[in-house]
Chain A
């Protein structure tokens, strides 16, 4: 972590001393064990290059301790992010495309034409979030914000049962302790859902999440529904979307929650597929996945924004949920 000297709470005269001698980063002149939460900091020999009085050295040490103290929000956030695992999707190809799964603290957007599998993927991710961490889940509750009406409890139950039987198979074959304390009922009770028929309801849900969020993942299906009709004043629409975007970002900084948004697409003048809700909104998500139905049973997911942009993964939707395609 290269912290620039200029970001330390020091008087300018001292900072100038450092930068004039080429010691621009804190790592240039301290040694310390980063893994130790108390952050024992010691000066390295480089510090002798500067003519600092004892008073100035004390000031410097104080500033460094302030910065490195374990209650500093930057470090706390880092630790949580590193220790929280990504959420898998049960399709290894998609997980590989996502670099392991859906990362904590990220906002990922799923876009696709109607019938491309976005809602099904959302339901699978919702179930996966509740699974224990050693099996690729977050071990946490999930909030499914249903704006379309497409979330089906019967289907969620089906996906939960299939996921559970797969876990039991895994734990048996790896001789790990069996997953006895997890049941379909428990999974389902950790999936919270709410129906938003209006943009005001959606806004208030996100506002409240910013106040208090007890979920490991938030899934919004879909963000576009309540904004793509006769909104009257388009500037107001942009305003509300900007507010939501800010609040989602604030939420992701505060806690390692993953936000999964489903957006609609439209055809632009040249016949290309574009995500909806405008240019400004398209910057909200860190990554974007385009889903497409290829044939009867096969679907594809293409990365549109983020690492591995342009690469695709194939998946199928079975009675168990989202799975890899079966190669004959």
Chain B
């Protein structure tokens, strides 16, 4: 396959292109090639009038090419019966799996949020350790030191000495964007990644890191979210995004980054400390958004040396 067939889009993704074999009429192909309109995306973006201007085709010819383009771009339509049960990965705890396993369906984005010290990182690391040793994970840290020793401890507790986890630390928005847009896709090509953990999304977008223009910030959050959704779906992996809590005067504790980020996640879990004098380290994990689990479903669990069970 010649490299000239690869056309890259805005975010480095490989775009669908028209090739010579799509056309019976060679002249049409020559014209398309000559006007640099091989990218299918352009046939959707440009209006029919623009396309006629650029190519010199007639309206009928433009429509014919559009039909070929749409056939190429068309996603597969499935009957609901054809879609079997999707794979789920594990929490690494029987108790959590028994009730909440549907939250870890691959191909989606799961948000895990809670106040500081509630155990989000613990839970994320545990999910990562439960994947070993067959699959790889990617761990992107934005909040300082990466708890590699904790991860090793968890894996050792399961009898594994080796950890298949790629760790990346990003401290700036540019670095983080670079990582999600460019480096992750390359990593996914090289290893069978089943899990991407982002710890945490809030730290990157919080005050002072980028210009306070709300609209700009929202656009950047959405670009990241769109890319994560694409990676999750096309490469069949789960993206777990950790988020911080923020105080809202009218509604109480909420996940940070507001409605913009809330639209981008498929499911949401809240991890909450239970204050108790007798038993320390108790946590409640509550379902706040899910395609199939009822909102409000919760599990009470304990933070131990070996993890959250």
Contact = CB atoms under 8 A, between A and B. Distances in A.
**Interface residues of A toward B: which range?**
35 or more
Query: Which of A148, A232, A265, A319 has most B Cβ within 10 Å?
Result: A148
A245 interface: no
Contacts of A115: 262, 288-289, 295
A189 B74 contact: no
A204 B259 contact: no
B209 to A, nearest CB: 18
A149 B78 contact: no
B291 A150 contact: yes
Interface of A is mostly: mixed
Interface string A203-218: 1110110010000000
A236 interface: yes
B85 A153 contact: yes
Contact of A200 (B73, B226, B233, B295): B73
B136 interface: no
B214 to A, nearest CB: 10
A229 B79 CA distance: 30
A143 B77 contact: yes
A296 interface: yes
A211 B291 contact: no
A153 B220 CA distance: 31
Interface in B137-155: none
B203 interface: no
B219 to A, nearest CB: 5
B77 A192 contact: yes
B294 interface: yes
Interface string B76-89: 11111101111000
Contact of A229 (B81, B102, B226, B291): B226
A228 B222 contact: yes
Given A188-B81, A189-B81, A192-B77, A151 B262 contact: no
A143 B67 CA distance: 20
B291 A240 contact: no
B259 A239 contact: no
A155 B67 contact: no
A224 B10 CA distance: 19
A114 interface: yes
B74 A151 contact: no
Given A204-B69, A230-B219, A194 B45 contact: no
B173 to A, nearest CB: 14
A150 to B, nearest CB: 5
B99 to A, nearest CB: 15
Interface string B122-147: 00000000000000000000000000
A154 B292 contact: yes
A72 to B, nearest CB: 26
**Interface residues of B toward A: which range?**
35 or more
B79 A195 contact: no
B263 A188 contact: no
Contacts of A265: 259
Contacts of B75: 194-196, 201, 204-205
Contact of A114 (B69, B74, B259, B292): B259
Nearest to B74: A204
A196 B102 CA distance: 22
Contacts of A296: 296
A240 to B, nearest CB: 6
Contacts of A198: 230
Contacts of A10: none
Contacts of A230: 10, 219-220, 222-223
Given A236-B46, A296-B296, 13 more contacts: A143-B77, A149-B229, A189-B80, A193-B77, A199-B44, A200-B44, A201-B73, A204-B70, A205-B74, A211-B67, A229-B219, A230-B223, A267-B259
24 contacts: A149-B108, A149-B109, A151-B291, A152-B292, A189-B80, A192-B79, A192-B80, A193-B83, A197-B229, A199-B44, A200-B16, A200-B40, A200-B41, A204-B75, A205-B75, A207-B67, A229-B222, A229-B226, A230-B10, A230-B222, A239-B45, A239-B47, A243-B47, A266-B259
Interface of B: 10, 16, 40-41, 44-47, 66-67, 69-81, 83-86, 102, 107-109, 219-220, 222-223, 225-226, 229-230, 232-234, 259, 262-263, 265-266, 288-289, 291-292, 294-296
